[in-house]
């Protein structure tokens, strides 16, 4: 695999296998990294990149395969062993303690001391040297991390890894929250580390920056190697083809439907969390897909429409009625429902029962003289359990005991029970089994055929192409293009989402 | 499997009750006190002593189920007891004086709720501040002294032997029982009650489902304040004076009662019945220890152990369920 003969392999992974229950997340993946090399690891969501890196760091254990670090067998049992072996991860969500200073963060857990008293002079000198080496002498050792920008925090994290004498750095989407300026500074640091012989695994969805910073690349698809090579000799189109592959058409039920009147009209809407205003219309009987990478502004748009994030300007109109500001309860009364991407944190009250979760957004029909009629509420919940084929111990079971797919069906049942006319679905099929997925596609089709309007956010392009009537693509907060689904291909969607250019 | 799940949920609900029976059993087996402990007269006295903490616990249960806390409860009780004493002293009839106390207690709770939701600060901080403010107001109003007031029917609310005698229990005890039933119904059977549990279980979900979480929280704290106001009236009734230094630290007894009764400080769990049992476990322990002639510090140690044991048992049960 090592095409560049002069470099010795710092890391060698061969035939790595990882299973989660019945699904095979990795089916014999090979990966190697030389000293002083930046190696891009590419693939769509769910291709197995993070699983592979978790095995490398020791956060997960492989079910098969072999790993060698600098020629010696390496099988880390937990991340601390990985760190001691010289493998450091720089995650998307940084792992710094924001209440502590730069110095305290970098020396955390290995504070030099004599009989329990800190000896700070040596460690401060070493940190200074490291930051100078990274060309970031301006970072103040006594500044609280909370006061630093995202770019500087990343440098602190890298400094900590280097102080650890790490020889392999894994950077997972390091630029997703950086400005262009911070990004250039990060790339300088990466080049500096490469000169110093550090091997870097670089995971990113943004192909342009991969081209800018990486030497080699490896593409994973469905838990297998689908290709790789030198990045300078490969075109974007070839890489995208490797990522997408010749995928089978999944079975998406689709009845013929003709979109009707405009149900939801979004004009120049900008919420507090959105970086740019967006405009689009959603018609009755239509499924409009919102494609894009994680963090590209799709979720923020849905939340602003629903009133969970405050709107700053622009307008949202439901079937003609105008409403800019609004809280979720006014939206629900207007017939809008939201299915949250964060099922456990926001979507469901995990310790509450199926009945409570399904009926919480519409308790009014069960209210009689101020009292709740629990038997009718349970009967309604039982009906939805039946119709959606939810596997549960009964209406009064707490939803935390259900599988992911069944939990998601409870969240969907809530929107159905609420009789929402406009359904905002944020990653409704993420992390659930294939059977539940197919059922959710079926329900989406059925709801559209009944004349409801659906906004469908997904990072999985085949399901967008299979289910939607029209698809809009977001790139770094900007809505690029809205086109009929038939005019898009997976390659075009991926290209638009990763490069920001809709061809 | 279904049956065993139902059985374990029944045991869960009964756990505080079993604790109560255990306390009663222990003291009725002690030779020194067994002849006196279970006497009607003694139990009547225990019930009357429990009224103030119980009223506070009714409001606190709702607050704790919603994931909050009210540290200002005891200061609020002292404040309203001073208000009622001052009112009666000024010649205001007992009925309006009682109402004034309850309503002012409610206003303190309302302010708590408004500050928590508008300033977006955690309830601990807001009610910690209100604890000092209400206590200070009470002392100011009373010029740092007890306020004497002429005897009225208000003082019979907490009388040891009720008048007329066919009531059997003091009117305050009856009031406590009726309000406990009403609160249990409110929590279990109304939309407001569902919203309280939903907010405590996951506030983000509740907001997503259209629950007006801010409005509900304001109502929750105002309700807790009303109960403190009523508890303040009872405090005045018991003491026959308005004392601004009364009930210091009582908020912790109230919180302990809710927690012993199965309330979770992280929200989403708790019940009125459980909290009431928690109140009686604590008062029976105090009563029994006093009868045994044990010093005060022994009671404090025992109650401390019970709080930790009750919550630890609760966690173990939860872990088994999951």
Interface list for A 144-203 with B (CB within 8 A): none
Instruction: Mark which of A372, A403, A419 sits at the end of a domain.
Output: A419
Q: How confident is the model at residue A121 (pLDDT cuts 50, 70, 90)?
A: confident
Q: What is the per-residue pLDDT across A372-418, written as a single tens digit (0 to 9) for each?
A: 899 999 999 999 999 998 988 889 999 988 888 899 999 999 999 99
| Interface with chain A: mutation pick from B3, B67, B183, B208, highest number of A CBs within 10 Å | B208
Name the domain count of chain B.
Answer: 1
Q: Does residue A92 share a domain with residue A21?
A: yes
**In-domain check, residue B175:** yes
**Is the bond into A285 cis (omega within 30 degrees of 0)?**
no
Give the model's pLDDT for residue A91. 73
Residues of chain B contacting A342 with CB distance shorter than 8 Å: 204
- Point out the least confidently predicted range of A32-36, A78-82, B293-297: A78-82
Q: Does residue A229 share a domain with residue A291?
A: no
* Mean pLDDT along residues A25-32: 93
Name the domain count of chain A.
Answer: 3
Q: Does residue A304 share a domain with residue A450?
A: yes
Residues of chain B contacting A327 with CB distance shorter than 8 Å: 212
| CA distance to A19, A241, A369, per residue, from A380 (Å) | 38, 48, 20
Q: Which domain holds residue A471?
A: 260-335+420-503
Interface ipTM = 0.73
Inter-residue contact A260 to A421 (CB < 8 Å):
no
Instruction: Provide the whole-model pTM.
Output: 0.75
Inter-residue contact A289 to A485 (CB < 8 Å):
yes
| Interface with chain A: mutation pick from B5, B186, B207, B209, highest number of A CBs within 10 Å | B209
B169: which residues sit within 8 A by CB, 6+ positions away?
B44, B47, B48, B162
Q: Does residue A239 share a domain with residue A204?
A: yes
CA B75 to chain centre: 13
Q: What is the per-residue pLDDT across A49-88, written as a single tens digit (0 to 9) for each?
A: 888 998 998 888 999 999 999 888 998 888 878 888 889 8
**Measured torsion, CA atoms of residues B48, B52, B53, B54, in degrees rounded to the nearest 10:** 70
Phi, psi for A202 (deg, rounded to 5): -115, 115
Inter-residue contact A424 to A386 (CB < 8 Å):
no
- Across the interface, do A363 and B206 touch by the CB < 8 Å criterion? no
- Across the interface, do A351 and B201 touch by the CB < 8 Å criterion? yes
- Asked if A377 is an interface residue toward chain B (Cβ–Cβ < 8 A), one would say no
**In-domain check, residue A414:** yes
Model confidence at B289: pLDDT above 50: yes
Q: Does residue A69 share a domain with residue A184?
A: yes
Q: Number of A:B CB contacts under 8 A?
A: 80
Higher pLDDT, A30 or A502: A30
Q: Does residue A215 share a domain with residue A265?
A: no
- Across the interface, do B204 and A371 touch by the CB < 8 Å criterion? no
**In-domain check, residue A251:** no
CATH code, domain carrying A149: 3.40.50.300
Q: Does residue A222 share a domain with residue A361?
A: no
Q: Does residue A414 share a domain with residue A439?
A: no
Out of B190, B194, B207, name the one closest to residue A356 (CB).
Answer: B194
Model confidence at A3: pLDDT above 60: no
Inter-residue contact A442 to A454 (CB < 8 Å):
no
Residues of chain B contacting A400 with CB distance shorter than 8 Å: 322
Model confidence at A358: pLDDT above 80: yes
- Across the interface, do B211 and A360 touch by the CB < 8 Å criterion? yes
* Mean pLDDT along residues B110-134: 97
**What is the Cα–Cα distance from B86 to A400, expressed in whole angstroms?**
53
Give the model's pLDDT for residue B9. 61
């Amino acid at each position: 695999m090592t095409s560049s003969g002069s470099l010795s392999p710092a890391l060698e992974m061969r035939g790595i296998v990882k299973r989660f229950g019945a699904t095979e997340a990795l089916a014999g993946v090979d990966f190697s990294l030389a000293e002083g090399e930046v190696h891009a690891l590419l693939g769509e969501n769910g291709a197995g990149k993070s699983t592979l890196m978790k095995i490398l760091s020791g956060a997960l254990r492989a079910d098969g395969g072999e790993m060698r670090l600098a020629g010696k067998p390496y099988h880390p049992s937990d991340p601390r062993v990985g760190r001691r072996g010289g493998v450091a991860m720089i995650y998307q969500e940084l792992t710094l303690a924001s209440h502590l200073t730069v110095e305290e963060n970098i020396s955390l857990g290995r504070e030099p001391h004599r009989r329990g008293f800190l000896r700070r002079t040596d460690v401060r000198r070493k940190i200074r040297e490291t930051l100078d080496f990274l060309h970031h002498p301006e970072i103040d050792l006594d500044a609280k991390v909370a006061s630093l920008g995202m770019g500087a925090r990343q440098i602190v994290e890298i400094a900590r890894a280097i102080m650890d004498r790490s020889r392999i750095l894994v950077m997972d989407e390091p630029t997703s929250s950086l400005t262009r300026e911070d990004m250039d500074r990060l790339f300088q640091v990466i080049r500096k580390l490469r000169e110093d012989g550090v091997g870097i695994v670089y995971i990113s969805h943004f192909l342009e920056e991969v081209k800018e910073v990486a030497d080699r690349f490896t593409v994973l698809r469905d838990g297998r190697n689908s290709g790789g090579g030198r990045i300078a000799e490969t075109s974007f189109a070839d890489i995208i083809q490797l990522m997408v592959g010749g995928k089978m058409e999944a079975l998406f039920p689709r009845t013929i439907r003709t979109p009707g009147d405009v149900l939801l009209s979004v004009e120049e809407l900008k919420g507090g969390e959105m970086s740019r205003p967006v405009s689009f219309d959603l018609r009755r009987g239509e499924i409009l897909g919102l494609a894009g990478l994680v963090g590209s502004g799709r979720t923020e748009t849905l939340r602003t429409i629903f009133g969970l994030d405050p709107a700053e300007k622009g307008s949202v109109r439901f079937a003609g009625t105008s409403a800019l500001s609004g809280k979720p309860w006014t939206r629900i009364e207007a017939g809008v429902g939201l299915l949250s991407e964060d099922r456990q944190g926001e979507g469901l009250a995990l310790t509450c029962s199926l009945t409570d979760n399904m009926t919480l957004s519409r308790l009014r029909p069960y209210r009689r003289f101020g009292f709740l009629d629990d038997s009718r509420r349970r009967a309604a919940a039982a009906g939805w359990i039946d119709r959606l084929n939810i596997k549960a111990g009964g209406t009064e079971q707490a939803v935390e005991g259900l599988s992911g797919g069944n939990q998601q069906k409870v969240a969907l049942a809530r929107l159905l029970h609420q009789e929402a006319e406009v359904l905002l679905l944020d990653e409704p099929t993420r992390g659930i089994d294939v059977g539940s997925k197919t059922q959710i596609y079926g329900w989406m089709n059925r709801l559209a055929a009944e004349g409801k309007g659906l906004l469908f956010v997904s990072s999985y392009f085949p399901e967008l192409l299979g289910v939607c009537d029209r698809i809009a693509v977001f790139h770094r907060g900007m809505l690029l293009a809205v086109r009929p689904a038939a005019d898009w291909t997976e390659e075009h969607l991926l290209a638009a989402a990763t490069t920001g250019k809709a061809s | 499997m279904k049956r065993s799940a139902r059985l374990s949920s029944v045991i869960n609900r009964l756990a505080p009750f079993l604790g109560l029976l255990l306390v009663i059993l222990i003291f009725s087996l002690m030779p020194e006190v067994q002849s006196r402990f279970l006497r009607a007269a003694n139990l009547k006295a225990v019930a009357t002593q429990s009224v103030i903490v119980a009223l506070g616990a009714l409001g606190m249960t709702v607050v704790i189920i919603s994931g909050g806390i009210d540290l200002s409860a005891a200061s609020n009780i002292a404040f309203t007891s001073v208000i009622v004493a001052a009112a009666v002293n000024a010649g205001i009839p007992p009925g309006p004086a009682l109402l004034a106390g309850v309503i002012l207690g409610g206003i303190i709770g309302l302010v708590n709720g408004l500050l928590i939701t508008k300033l977006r600060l955690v309830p601990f901080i807001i009610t910690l501040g209100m604890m000092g403010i209400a206590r200070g107001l009470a002392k100011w109003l009373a010029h740092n002294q007890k306020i004497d007031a002429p005897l009225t029917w208000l003082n019979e609310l907490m009388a040891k032997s009720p008048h007329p005698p066919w009531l059997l229990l003091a009117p305050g005890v009856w009031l406590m029982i009726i309000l406990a039933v009403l609160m249990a119904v409110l929590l279990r059977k109304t939309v407001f009650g569902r919203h309280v549990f939903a907010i405590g279980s996951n506030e983000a979900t509740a907001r997503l489902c259209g629950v007006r979480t801010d409005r509900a929280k304001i109502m929750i704290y105002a309700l807790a304040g009303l109960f403190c106001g009523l508890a303040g009236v009872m405090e005045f009734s018991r003491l026959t004076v308005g004392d601004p230094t009364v009930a210091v630290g009582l908020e912790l007894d109230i919180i302990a009662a809710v927690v012993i009764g199965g309330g979770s400080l992280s929200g989403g769990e708790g019940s009125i019945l459980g909290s009431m049992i928690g109140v009686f476990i604590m008062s029976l322990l105090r009563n029994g220890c006093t009868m045994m002639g044990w010093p005060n510090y022994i009671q404090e140690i025992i109650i401390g152990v019970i709080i930790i044991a009750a919550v630890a048992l609760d966690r173990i049960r939860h872990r088994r369920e999951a």
